[in-house]
Each structure stands twice: as structure tokens, then as C-alpha cells.
């Protein structure tokens, strides 16, 4: 997602209805705090994002595009989705009776571009499934797709609330992993602490509650982190981990009988992730095209995300029985799939300039090209994936 760093005081004021929604969610989380005697940050993040009807991804507020909180690659240009469609088609042609499963389809822009490209390639899946727990987002996706797709294409699109039990084809997740809840860890020279959430009565707001780590499994993970980070100064070193990642990847592997899983997200390999310059962590809040560092304001109105540790993602997939089939930058991935060739040479000058600007946003290092990565897993199929032919960075993991 594209974002602009800003200070809390510069954030736009929510409407009265938005404020009421945020207050309702705040009260519900406060009750959880008292009932459970505290919440880890991952538990807090889970409720903030996914509480039915109130959580960020469950309420009906605008999220994507210029009128929302952030812009993802599918909204930047349909060329992104067309390239993804080309990679998906390559896998579908190696399978029989294969389908596509998109995890969290957002605005529906990626599904639209992929389906149109797959139709143009004469490589349509048996079905295009969308796993979308938000009823509000489901409705918006249905309206968008129905307005642009033919009836024959729409008949292939189905919405799910749970993973299918036996799936053959390609699972696609664009900016999905970054939204998985994270635990926040603070390394000190002689200690390691885990972030919990408390309620500050004096300021009527949630606040950090740092607690010494006593869980042996968590301590083991933190020790491995420390071995990469090295010596920690007195200011400490804050970072994140996703405890749900192994179980989540195992569920995807269990679902997938044969095919591939493709993720596009922003993040780094572990050695890039745990560098001294990232000592403040990567947890960010996104609200109205602005990014800031306070996860406790505008509860339910702002997105919470953290960069992806792609080494951890690869390890979780490998442990789940998947083959790590490729890892590269978004720029390399899209260019390898013929991004430039998608510009119609017969298009007018204005269209050419517009598409050139979109390609720049998707591929330039100071835009989305380097910070975003593509990672693929395969199961039960052989062969190279073209998206990783330009430069495969698996050895950097």
C-alpha cells in the first residue's frame, strides 16, 4: 500500500458516526481486557481488525482507493492484476479442473483484472473463489464485478467464509500476510519484553504494558531474533513476530491438493528485517492516506499492519509441506511476466503516459518496486514459475 507518514495531530477528524463506531469497539475491547486480565498486542490487533460489524475489516467504511485509507497495487493499475493473471494461467495449464482462490479480495480490483486477463488468455479457471469474511466487502466486490464482467464470467465467481476442504489450483494473497496479527517484542541489553495492552484511565485510552517474557517457546523465538540483531543498546530494539503464521500456512497447505500459493506483500528477508536501522519496529497505522505510529487511536477506523518477515513465511510454508518456488521483488516479478508488453502500441499518447506512470509506481525502487516482494509456494506440481525468471532471491532468505 502507498502511504504518507504524518503526525497524530495532522490526522483528519472522523465523523460523528465514525466516532460512535470507534467508541463502541473501544468499549468492547475494554470489557475483554477486564475479563481476560489483559490482552497481548496480537489479541488486541485481532479484535481491532476483525471484531464482527465493528472491526476495521468488518465494518462498512471505505478502505481502499483514493477515498479510503490506502491504495494497493491493483488500484494503482489493472496491469498489476493482468501480470498476476499470467502467472496464474501458467500454473492452471499444468493442472486439471483447477480453480483460483483469492484471500481477501479488497475492492475487487485484482479479481476483475485477473479474470479479464485469464479470459483473454483462454485459460479460465473452473471457479474463482473469494474468501472474504466481511459482508460489507463482499457486497462491494459483487457490485464491482457484476458491473464489468459478463454473465458467463460472473457465474464462475463464488464467495466463501471458510477455506475449501479440497482445492486444486492457485491461491493468491495480495497484502494479506501483513494484516495477520503480530506480537510486539522489545529487546533490551539484559532482558526481553512482550507488549500487552492496558487501559489508561487518566487519559481514557489504551496504552502499552511491557511484561517480561516467561513463556519458554516465546523466549526461544526471541533468542533467535537476538542472534540476528546482535548487541542491543540501552534504547532497546522493538520488532514484531506473527505467532499465527505456522498454523495459518498449515491450513493453506491442508486445503491445497495440488497447485501454487502466491503472496505479494511488503517486507524483507530476516536479515534485512532485523537490522539496526529498524530498531523502532515496523508496526504502522493507516488512516485516510496517512501512516503513523499510534495503534491505539481511532480504534476500528484505521488499519494496523507490520512488514512481513519473508524468511519466517518461507519457513512456515516449508514446515507445512510446501515447496518454496520463488522469491523476488515486485518489480522483477512484474517485469518477468511482461509488464511492459501489456502497453498497447496503438494507444494514444495520453494513455501511454498514464500507463507509464502506473508502471513507474509499481516498479521503481522509491515507489512499490523494491519494498514489495513476491513469494510462491507449490505442491504436487513441477516446473519453473516465470515470475521469478528475471531474478530469484531465495538464497537471500
For residue 100, what is the domain's CATH number?
3.40.50.12710
CB 318 within 8 A of CB 324: yes
Question: Is residue 298, in this structure, part of any structural domain at all?
Answer: no
Tell me how many domains the chain contains: 2
pLDDT of residue 18: 94
Distance between CA atoms of 163 and 282, rounded to whole angstroms? 29
Whether 268 and 139 map to the same domain: the answer is yes
pLDDT of residue 34: 76
Three-state DSSP at 233 gives: coil
Cα angle: 157, vertex 160, 165; to 5 degrees: 110
Q: Which of 201, 225, 241 is the last residue of a domain?
A: 241
Domain around 265: 73-179+245-273+307-396
Question: Is residue 144, in this structure, part of any structural domain at all?
Answer: yes
Whether 137 and 201 map to the same domain: the answer is no
Whether 130 and 256 map to the same domain: the answer is yes
State pTM to two decimals.
0.94
Cα angle: 216, vertex 221, 227; to 5 degrees: 125
Question: Is residue 333, in this structure, part of any structural domain at all?
Answer: yes
Question: Is residue 208, in this structure, part of any structural domain at all?
Answer: yes
Distance between CA atoms of 384 and 377, rounded to whole angstroms? 11
Which residue is listed with cell 500456512? Answer: 249
Q: pLDDT truncated to tens, each residue of the chain (397 aa)? A: 544 444 456 788 999 999 999 999 999 999 988 776 679 999 999 999 999 999 999 898 888 777 777 889 999 999 999 999 999 999 999 999 999 999 999 999 999 999 999 999 999 999 999 999 888 899 999 999 999 999 999 999 999 999 999 999 999 999 999 999 999 999 999 999 999 999 999 999 999 999 999 889 999 999 999 999 999 999 999 999 999 999 999 999 999 999 999 999 999 999 999 999 999 999 999 998 888 999 999 999 999 999 999 999 999 999 999 999 999 999 999 999 999 999 888 888 888 899 989 999 999 999 999 999 999 999 999 999 999 999 999 999 9
| Nearest of 46, 19, 15, 6 to residue 304 by alpha carbon | 46
Question: Is residue 293, in this structure, part of any structural domain at all?
Answer: no
Q: Which of 198, 226, 241 is the last residue of a domain?
A: 241
Cα 91 to the chain's mean position, in Å?
22
Question: Is residue 21, in this structure, part of any structural domain at all?
Answer: no
Distance between CA atoms of 225 and 295, rounded to whole angstroms? 23
pLDDT of residue 2: 43
Whether 153 and 167 map to the same domain: the answer is yes
Distance between CA atoms of 41 and 46, rounded to whole angstroms? 8
Which residue is listed with cell 518489480? Answer: 331
Distance between CA atoms of 174 and 156, rounded to whole angstroms? 20
pLDDT of residue 198: 94
pLDDT of residue 149: 97
Whether 118 and 257 map to the same domain: the answer is yes
Determine the angle formed by the axes of helices 78-92 and 349-363, rounding to 10 degrees. Answer: 70
Amino acid at each position: 500500500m502507498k502511504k504518507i507518514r504524518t503526525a497524530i495531530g495532522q490526522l483528519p477528524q472522523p465523523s460523528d458516526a465514525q466516532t460512535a463506531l470507534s467508541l463502541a469497539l473501544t468499549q468492547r475491547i475494554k470489557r475483554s481486557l477486564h475479563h481476560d486480565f489483559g490482552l497481548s498486542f496480537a489479541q488486541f490487533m485481532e479484535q481491532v481488525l476483525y471484531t464482527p460489524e465493528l472491526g476495521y475489516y468488518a465494518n462498512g467504511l471505505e478502505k481502499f482507493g483514493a477515498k479510503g485509507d490506502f491504495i494497493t497495487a491493483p488500484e494503482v493499475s489493472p496491469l498489476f492484476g493482468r501480470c498476476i493473471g499470467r502467472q496464474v494461467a501458467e500454473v492452471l495449464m499444468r493442472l486439471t479442473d483447477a480453480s483460483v482462490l483469492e484471500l481477501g479480495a479488497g475492492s475487487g480490483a485484482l479479481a476483475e483484472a485477473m479474470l479479464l486477463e485469464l479470459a483473454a488468455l483462454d485459460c479460465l479457471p473452473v471457479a474463482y473463489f473469494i474468501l472474504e469474511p466481511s459482508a460489507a466487502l463482499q457486497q462491494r466486490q459483487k457490485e464491482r464485478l457484476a458491473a464489468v464482467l459478463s454473465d458467463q464470467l460472473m457465474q464462475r465467481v463464488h464467495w466463501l467464509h471458510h477455506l475449501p476442504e479440497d482445492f486444486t489450483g492457485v491461491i493468491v494473497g495480495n497484502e494479506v500476510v501483513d494484516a495477520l496479527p503480530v506480537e510486539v517484542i522489545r529487546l533490551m541489553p539484559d532482558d526481553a519484553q512482550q507488549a500487552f495492552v492496558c487501559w489508561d484511565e487518566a487519559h481514557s485510552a489504551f496504552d502499552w504494558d511491557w511484561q517480561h517474557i516467561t513463556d519458554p517457546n516465546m523466549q526461544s523465538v526471541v533468542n533467535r531474533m537476538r542472534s540476528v540483531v546482535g548487541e542491543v543498546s540501552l534504547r532497546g530494539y522493538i520488532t514484531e513476530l506473527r505467532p499465527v503464521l505456522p498454523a495459518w500456512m498449515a491450513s493453506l497447505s491442508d486445503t491445497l491438493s495440488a497447485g501454487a500459493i502466491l503472496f505479494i506483500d511488503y517486507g524483507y528477508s530476516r536479515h534485512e528485517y532485523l537490522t539496526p536501522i529498524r530498531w523502532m519496529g515496523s508496526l504502522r497505522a493507516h488512516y485516510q492516506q496517512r501512516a503513523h505510529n499510534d495503534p491505539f487511536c481511532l480504534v476500528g477506523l484505521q488499519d494496523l499492519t507490520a512488514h512481513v518477515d519473508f524468511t519466517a513465511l518461507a519457513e512456515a510454508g516449508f514446515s507445512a509441506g510446501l515447496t518454496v518456488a520463488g522469491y523476488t521483488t515486485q518489480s522483477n516479478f512484474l517485469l518477468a511476466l511482461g509488464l511492459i508488453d501489456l502497453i498497447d502500441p496503438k494507444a494514444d499518447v495520453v494513455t501511454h503516459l498514464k500507463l507509464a506512470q502506473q508502471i513507474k509506481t509499481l516498479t521503481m525502487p522509491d515507489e512499490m518496486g523494491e519494498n514489495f516482494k513476491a513469494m510462491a509456494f507449490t505442491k504436487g506440481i513441477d516446473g519453473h514459475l516465470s515470475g521469478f525468471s528475471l531474478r530469484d532471491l531465495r538464497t537471500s532468505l
